[in-house]
């Protein structure tokens, strides 16, 4: 099977980190393609960044449909464009926040999230509510690091994430930590060893969930709100989206 894992920001180093983490856990028969949009924010740290990045995510799914992908992963902890992406395909589309929340509740009754900037914590809180995990999560914490520090100042970023994860362990009454950024995909083992709690990371969780869904012959339902978008005209620079037709 083929999984297209989409880093919604446009930082190639983070896309490579995400792709490498996905390859590490992929089953022998799973081929991973890690991509990023041709245009968009270099990092996603606000509602505005999320909104802009969603267009690129959708274009990557459209490209994946032409390439015959079996599943898609949106590798940003805000799951940007998730439901819109599901409208475009019969394949499973999984967001890394959604995947991490599901996995964390299978191994603990309470978890906390450790993300990058405190200002984006509300995005994770909205998703917890939307996906029905609000009562499982004790707190959404932030290491207060810019997303790209994960690439540009990795040692200092890791140290801050570990410190915040230890505070979560000691204060929140939890059984697991959820890492709240696609750029943390390569830090699971180091954080787990330093903190002494199970660490759930969304990229790798989404790879295994994608394999499970495809293996069960399950994909995005086309009945109801996730049916293909109604064809219509788009104007201006979005003219290319006019009268979209399903590829398969
Ligand atoms: C992410 N931003 O996973 C989110 C994380 C965040 O560029 N990739 C980004 O901190 O909201």
Is the CB of 41 inside a 6 Å radius of any atom of ligand 1?
Answer: no
For residue 19, report the distance from its CA to the centre of ligand 1, in Å. Answer: 15
Integer Cα distance of 224 and 3 in angstroms: 25
Tens of pLDDT, residues 41-86: 999 999 999 999 999 999 999 999 999 999 999 999 999 999 999 9
For residue 79, report the distance from its CA to the centre of ligand 1, in Å. Answer: 9
As a whole-number percent, the residues of the chain with pLDDT over 90 amount to: 99
Distances (CA, A) of 220 to 23, 82, 89, 113: 23, 11, 7, 27
Tens of pLDDT, residues 126-181: 999 999 999 999 999 999 999 999 999 999 999 999 999 999 999 999 999 999 99
Question: What confidence score (pLDDT) does residue 5 get?
Answer: 98
- pTM beyond 0.95: the answer is yes
**What mean pLDDT value characterizes the chain?**
98
Biggest CA pair distance of the chain: 55
Average pLDDT value for residue range 5-10: 98
Quote the distance between the C-alpha of residue 17 and its chain's center. 13
In terms of Cβ atoms closer than 10 Å to its own Cβ (0-12, 13-18, 19+), residue 204 is buried
Residue 138 has what DSSP assignment?
A: E
Average pLDDT value for residue range 80-109: 98
CATH architecture of the domain 2-95+205-241 equals 3-Layer(aba) Sandwich (3.40)
Question: What confidence score (pLDDT) does residue 244 get?
Answer: 94
For residue 143, report the distance from its CA to the centre of ligand 1, in Å. Answer: 12
User: In this structure, are residues 200 and 177 in contact, taking their beta carbons and an 8 Å threshold?
Assistant: yes
Integer Cα distance of 185 and 20 in angstroms: 9
Q: Helix (H, G, I), strand (E, B), or coil: what is residue 95? A: strand
Provide the residue ranges of all domains of the chain, joining segments of one domain with +: 2-95+205-241, 97-202
Average pLDDT value for residue range 5-12: 98
Is the CB of 40 inside a 6 Å radius of any atom of ligand 1?
Answer: no
Is the CB of 188 inside a 6 Å radius of any atom of ligand 1?
Answer: no
Identical topology for domains 2-95+205-241 and 97-202: yes
Average pLDDT value for residue range 13-26: 98
Average pLDDT value for residue range 177-202: 98
Q: Which CATH class is domain 97-202?
A: alpha beta
Question: What confidence score (pLDDT) does residue 9 get?
Answer: 98
Residue having the nearest C-alpha atom to atom 2 of ligand 1: 44
Is the CB of 183 inside a 6 Å radius of any atom of ligand 1?
Answer: yes
Is the CB of 204 inside a 6 Å radius of any atom of ligand 1?
Answer: no
Nearest ligand 1 atom to alpha carbon 116? 10
pLDDT for residue 182 is more than 90: yes
For residue 180, report the distance from its CA to the centre of ligand 1, in Å. Answer: 7
As a whole-number percent, the residues of the chain with pLDDT over 70 amount to: 100
pLDDT for residue 217 is more than 90: yes
Give, to the nearest 10 degrees, the angle between helix 202-215 and helix 12-25: 50
Residues in CB range of 13: below 8 A, 6 or more apart: 151
Question: What confidence score (pLDDT) does residue 248 get?
Answer: 85
Question: What confidence score (pLDDT) does residue 38 get?
Answer: 97
Distances (CA, A) of 113 to 83, 161, 174, 211: 22, 11, 10, 24
Integer Cα distance of 136 and 184 in angstroms: 22
């Amino acid at each position: 099977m083929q999984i297209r894992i989409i880093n919604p920001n446009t930082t190639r180093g983070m896309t490579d980190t995400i792709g490498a983490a996905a390859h590490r856990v992929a089953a022998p028969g799973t081929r991973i393609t890690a991509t990023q949009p041709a245009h968009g924010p270099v990092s996603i740290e606000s509602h505005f960044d999320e909104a802009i990045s969603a267009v690129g995510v959708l274009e990557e799914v459209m490209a994946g449909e032409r390439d015959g992908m079996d599943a898609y992963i949106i590798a940003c902890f805000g799951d940007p464009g998730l439901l819109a992406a599901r409208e475009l395909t019969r394949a499973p589309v999984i967001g890394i926040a959604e995947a991490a929340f599901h996995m964390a509740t299978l191994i603990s009754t309470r978890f906390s999230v450790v993300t990058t900037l405190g200002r984006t914590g509300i995005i994770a809180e909205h998703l917890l509510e939307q996906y029905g995990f609000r009562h499982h999560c004790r707190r959404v914490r932030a290491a207060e690091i810019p997303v790209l520090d994960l690439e540009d100042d990795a040692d200092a970023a890791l140290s801050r994430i570990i410190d915040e994860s230890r505070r979560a362990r000691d204060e929140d009454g939890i059984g697991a930590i959820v890492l709240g950024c696609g750029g943390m995909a390569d830090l699971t083992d180091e954080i787990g060893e330093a903190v002494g709690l199970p660490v759930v990371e969304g990229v790798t969780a989404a790879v295994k969930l994608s394999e499970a869904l495809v293996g069960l012959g399950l994909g995005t339902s086309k009945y109801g709100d996730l049916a293909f978008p109604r064809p219509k005209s788009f104007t201006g620079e979005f003219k290319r989206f006019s009268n979209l037709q399903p590829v398969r």
